[in-house]
Structure 1
């Protein structure tokens, strides 16, 4: 494998293009990188080097003519496979024959193309996005760029692998319970689950968002400046005020910052994870923030009920398949969703009401705080071949009790690396804020990037 050099940021590429850097040269460098690592990492579902070269050449021509579509024209980007691109299949990670082919682009795809960005391809995900790993009946196993024996996280699995591996600076994932942020903690990335309705979606659903996975907070902010533009096709979008994606925080002095080390449900937090998050909170306190403890607020009943509702939803999809298609679904997913057949109408409604309960308690627990610091997940990265950390489809999802609440409450939640385990695995800090305060959350994370010292990932160590 080739040694990875420091990858240019979005801002550096933009300045370079304005000064005469050729987008074709950048594309070739990244294509070489992809060719070297992709046989191991398996980050892409769709990747067409010829199309990448064509799009990079078109960008080069626009820059030469002074007709570039945006400051980010020519910047490489990937999108998760469940974000439609017109004319391409959307299998959502399953090996089911004849997957649907997208008739139109998703709003996110259109925003990227309108900005002149070069889409490198569509990144992998596990079956129906219902695993927190890169295990898929269609793709096999997507792997962690730091250590291929480890998971890259999921369900934005390929996006996490691509971001960590240096497949360009920008990657778009989706998140309904942690699917952007889990690759963030297990691959050392900077990510953002945006506020509800900020980034327009092609298929809105309770808790679902699209957002960035990158190596730096500045890159996440740059991507948000493009994909957060409104689109009338998403009926769930909200009229947020214009955000300043270049906002800076000189110091957290005066901020009221919560620290949560016990989610109240799910797996216990690994001591090394807790220690890294505690040290991050101490940096905020040392800089003048008022750090206060946040008591557990997500109950085991909420976690179990939401997990049960998702099983029922997926069981409905699974039951509608013919026998051959059912046989093509990942056995873990088939076993997991089969429990959904036992929920009658009353139980399903009761489980659905858990979403509102979680939304309520999350808002109540955090409304007096500017920021909330917590682990992203209770554990560090696990084996790449394992579908889930617990690897037991009969158990509720024990690793999402820090991330899921903010999907339900609609609040923004970002990740930034805050340390490493003794064996070198990355540990992410989750930073959540008030709904609509995405710019403030990213600014706080950028401040932390500047003071975290040895907790910063050394990307030159990625093979």
Structure 2
């Protein structure tokens, strides 16, 4: 039989019908709430949606329904979004494949035998499969951009603090970013515009410049400098490097200049990020881990056990490395406007049958999948993944752009230019809800 997509893990049909009837009435009266009125939008099970439990991909945490929406969910609701349920994720966000022993692994619509990427697994799968054009994800180490790349959709991790974290599970607070995934760059820009901006409930979001999308859809890139650090850029499978190089050449034809740059200490940066995110994950689970130790999946249990061996000194040293890496990137971005890399170093891996039940701890795959993403979380700089092509097995390839703080408009502009030059075949699993 058909393999279930397993993108959606919690829904309330009565609530959805109530929302739909209200949107229909507003449409008939010519009084839409906002730019997303009637548009189906899914929410990662890491963010509060009133009336739904926030279980962070488990069956034993957050079992009581949330009393109010997370700030971004409230903003989407105010814009008219049809919030249709909670989307699957890698358990507690601690993984990049989307494997989940509690709800089942979300499947990649381009090949259901392969991973979606994670941790926003059901988020990317739902968009690629045509269930919704926009969804809300969260990204602590690539968790928006990785599944976007592996499932052939668009994912934006904005500057740290640009989008409120209020109402999101505090899993890895210093590297976490809530953000949009979407079927195309225009929808991603629209969702970002609705979600972004200061929020008095999140102190990290209060001091930011105005959200400005001026020129985001300008495809003339004259004067834009794209930085490439070749040894890093080419540290990926050959079809990925080829697709990203082809995208670069297309951007050059649109007027962009390609600039060779250097970024020291990238391997050290990945270690510092791993120490930071896993230490914070262990702290976030401290009140639960003794009671629920045997209920976590095997891979999450192993990762929490390993991370619990890290010391306070390890964490402090990682923050010192973090400052150093931020300086390296500031220096690189003096010579260019955006840094270009592949989004991942490999396309979607196959899902081993035994891993579907127990999870999997494949450190080599984890490194190859996270390689280019984590630096954006460590530094808080904005980054976007957009489809750049497909490999010979028909699996999506993503290209990533990372810029200076608050330059989301430029990143959307670059992603839109890539998108304009790349054809995207429909995946094997796809439902056209609108004709």
TM > 0.5 between the two?
yes
- Establish whether residue 353 from structure 1 lines up as the match of residue 323 from structure 2: no
Partner of 2:349: 382
| Aligned with 1:191 (options 135, 151, 155) | 155
- Establish whether residue 213 from structure 1 lines up as the match of residue 181 from structure 2: yes
Is contact 2:160–2:380 with CA below 8 Å preserved after alignment? yes
Is contact 2:8–2:86 with CA below 8 Å preserved after alignment? yes
**In 2, Cα distance between equivalents of 1:278 and 1:71:** 35
Partner of 1:14: none
Is contact 1:250–1:447 with CA below 8 Å preserved after alignment? yes
Q: Quick one: structure 1 residues 150 and 310, their matched pair in 2 at CA, closer, same or farther if it must change by over 3 Å?
A: same
Q: Quick one: structure 1 residues 180 and 208, their matched pair in 2 at CA, closer, same or farther if it must change by over 3 Å?
A: same
Partner of 1:404: 374
- Establish whether residue 236 from structure 1 lines up as the match of residue 204 from structure 2: yes
**In 2, Cα distance between equivalents of 1:245 and 1:139:** 41
Measured against aligned partners, the alpha-carbon deviations of 1:234-265 in whole angstroms (never above 9, x if no partner) come to 1111322231267322311221111244439x
Partner of 2:109: 145
Mean Cα deviation higher: 330-339 or 236-245: 236-245
Q: Quick one: structure 1 residues 206 and 317, their matched pair in 2 at CA, closer, same or farther if it must change by over 3 Å?
A: closer
Partner of 1:115: 79
**TM-score (ref. length: structure 1):** 0.84
**In 1, Cα distance between equivalents of 2:193 and 2:289:** 43
Q: Quick one: structure 1 residues 272 and 316, their matched pair in 2 at CA, closer, same or farther if it must change by over 3 Å?
A: same
- Establish whether residue 124 from structure 1 lines up as the match of residue 88 from structure 2: yes
Is contact 2:298–2:359 with CA below 8 Å preserved after alignment? no
Measured against aligned partners, the alpha-carbon deviations of 1:331-376 in whole angstroms (never above 9, x if no partner) come to 1111112122322332232234333333232222223211222100
**In 2, Cα distance between equivalents of 1:350 and 1:398:** 24
| Aligned with 1:83 (options 47, 58, 67) | 47
- 3-state SS of the aligned residue for 2:420? helix
- 3-state SS of the aligned residue for 2:308? helix
**In 2, Cα distance between equivalents of 1:425 and 1:172:** 23
Residue 398 (structure 1) shift: 4.5
- Establish whether residue 157 from structure 1 lines up as the match of residue 121 from structure 2: yes
Is contact 1:375–1:402 with CA below 8 Å preserved after alignment? yes
Mean Cα deviation higher: 68-77 or 421-430: 68-77
Residue 414 (structure 1) shift: 1.1
- 3-state SS of the aligned residue for 2:252? helix
- 3-state SS of the aligned residue for 1:95? coil
Is contact 2:263–2:329 with CA below 8 Å preserved after alignment? no
Partner of 2:226: 257
List gaps (5 residues or longer) in structure 1. Answer: 2-36
- Establish whether residue 439 from structure 1 lines up as the match of residue 409 from structure 2: yes
Partner of 2:191: 223
Partner of 2:295: 328
**In 1, Cα distance between equivalents of 2:227 and 2:361:** 31
Is contact 2:48–2:68 with CA below 8 Å preserved after alignment? yes
Q: Quick one: structure 1 residues 245 and 137, their matched pair in 2 at CA, closer, same or farther if it must change by over 3 Å?
A: farther
Partner of 2:247: 280
**In 2, Cα distance between equivalents of 1:132 and 1:321:** 22
Is contact 2:224–2:337 with CA below 8 Å preserved after alignment? yes
Measured against aligned partners, the alpha-carbon deviations of 1:88-109 in whole angstroms (never above 9, x if no partner) come to 2111112326635423210011
**In 1, Cα distance between equivalents of 2:165 and 2:193:** 15
**In 2, Cα distance between equivalents of 1:71 and 1:309:** 38
List gaps (5 residues or longer) in structure 2. Answer: 431-435
Residue 441 (structure 1) shift: 1.2
Residue 221 (structure 1) shift: 0.8
- 3-state SS of the aligned residue for 2:388? strand
- 3-state SS of the aligned residue for 1:110? helix
**TM-score (ref. length: structure 2):** 0.89
Measured against aligned partners, the alpha-carbon deviations of 1:365-406 in whole angstroms (never above 9, x if no partner) come to 223211222100111110235599994359974532311112
Calculate the aligned-residue CA RMSD, in Å: 2.6
Q: Quick one: structure 1 residues 235 and 114, their matched pair in 2 at CA, closer, same or farther if it must change by over 3 Å?
A: same
Is contact 2:387–2:398 with CA below 8 Å preserved after alignment? yes
**In 2, Cα distance between equivalents of 1:217 and 1:208:** 22
- Establish whether residue 103 from structure 1 lines up as the match of residue 63 from structure 2: no
- Establish whether residue 72 from structure 1 lines up as the match of residue 8 from structure 2: no
Partner of 2:433: none
Partner of 1:372: 339
